[in-house]
Amino acid sequence: GETLVVADVELANADRPEVRYGPAAFRLRDAKGVEYDATRRQFAGAVLAGSLKRGEKVRGQVAFVVRSTAGLT
């Protein structure tokens, strides 16, 4: 089976003129070293693609579909 893991994240651009972001930039690693890409499913609170100017922040959630036996804590 599979499990949906949702992580709360905050992205901040401290010193670059502009930083682009999106779900494709996130990866999750389980206890065995297996990496998972963020799901591209849209849901309330999801971090979508965008850009941050210097000094800006964005908060949201990123979801991953992982094996039920992934051993995440």
Alpha carbon 8 to chain centroid, angstroms: 8
pLDDT number for residue 21: 94
Nearest to 22 by CA among 56, 54, 55, 58: 58
pLDDT given for residue 31 in this prediction: 84
Q: Quickly list DSSP for 36-61.
A: EEBP----TTB--SEEEETT-EEEEE
**pTM of this prediction?**
0.80
Determine the 3-state secondary structure of 2 from DSSP. strand
pLDDT tens track for 12-55: 999 999 999 998 889 999 888 899 999 988 888 999 999 999 99
Tokens of 44: 């309330």
